[in-house]
Amino acid sequence: MQKLSVPESARKNPGFDGLGLDARLLRALADLEFTDPTQVQRDTIPLALGGRDVLAMAVTGSGKTAAFLLPLMQRLAEKPRGTTRALVLVPTRELAAQVLDHFTQLARHTRLRAAAIFGGVGMQPQEQALRRGVDVVIATPGRLLDHMQHDYAGLRGLEVLVLDEADRMLDMGFLPAIRRILGALPRTRRQTLCFSATMPPEIALLTNELLSQAALVNVARPARAPASITQALYPVPSRLKVELLAELIRRGTIGSAIVFCRTKHRANRLAQKLEREGVSCARIHGNRSQAQRTAALAAFKAGEVRILVATDIVARGIDINALEHVVNFDVPASPDDYLHRIGRTGRAELTGDACTLVAPEDEDEVRRIERTLGSRIERRTIGGFDYRAANDERLEVARHERIAAARAARAPARPRAATAASPAALEPAIVERAARDRGAGQYARRSRRRRRPRAA
Largest Cα–Cα separation, the chain: 108
Q: Measured in whole angstroms, how far is the alpha carbon of residue 291 from the centre of its chain? A: 16
Complete domains list, the chain, with CATH: 2-219 (3.40.50.300), 229-396 (3.40.50.300)
pLDDT of residue 27: 95
CA distance 180 to 200: 20
Strand intervals (E) in 38-100: 54-58, 86-89
Q: What is the spatial order of strands in the sheet that 325-328 belongs to?
A: 229-235, 352-358, 325-328, 257-260, 307-310, 281-284
Q: Which amino acid is at 252?
A: G
C-alpha neighbours within 13 Å on the C-beta side of residue 284: 26
Q: Going by C-beta distance under 8 Å and a sequence separation of 6 or more, which residues neighbour residue 357? A: 234, 236, 241, 244, 245, 327, 328, 329, 330, 331
What's the pLDDT at 411? 72
* Distance from the Cα of residue 109 to its chain's centroid: 31
CA nearest to 164, candidates 212, 98, 260: 98
pLDDT digits (tens, 9 = 90+) for 46-86: 999 999 999 998 876 678 999 999 999 999 998 999 999 99
Could you tell me the strand order of the sheet in which 86-89 lies? 2-3, 215-219, 54-58, 191-196, 160-163, 86-89, 136-139, 114-117
Per-residue confidence (pLDDT) for residue 43, from 0 to 100 = 94
Note the pLDDT of residue 429.
Answer: 47
pLDDT of the residue at 397: 61
Angle, vertex CA 196, rays to CA 37 and CA 9, nearest 5: 30
Residue 374 CB neighbours (<10 A): 9
Nearest CA to 357 among 243, 212, 217, 250? 243
- 90 Cβ neighbours under 8 A, 6+ residues apart: 96, 99, 138, 139, 140, 164, 165, 169, 317
Q: Mapping DSSP to helix (H, G, I), strand (E, B) and coil, where does residue 70 land?
A: helix
- Residues with Cβ within 8 Å of 111's Cβ and at least 6 positions away in sequence, in order, are 77, 81
pLDDT of residue 3: 37
Rounded CA separation 345/19 (Å): 29
Sign for the CA dihedral angle at 425, 429, 431, 434 comes to negative
Closest CA to 323 of 305, 341, 338, 301: 301
- For residues 55-91, b (16+ Cβ closer than 10 Å) or e, as one string? bbbbbbbbbbbbbbbbbbbbbbbeeeeebbbbbbbbb
For residue 24, the SS3 value is helix
The answer to whether the CB of 258 falls within 8 A of the CB of 323 is yes
Kindly give the pairing relationship between strand 2-3 and strand 215-219. parallel
pLDDT of 10: 40
Residues with Cβ within 8 Å of residue 213, at least 6 apart in sequence:
2, 52, 53
Parts of the chain with a pLDDT under 70: 1-14, 60-61, 220-224, 316-319, 321-322, 346-349, 392-393, 396-403, 405, 412-456
Distance of CA 383 to the CA centre of its chain: 37
pLDDT given at position 273: 92
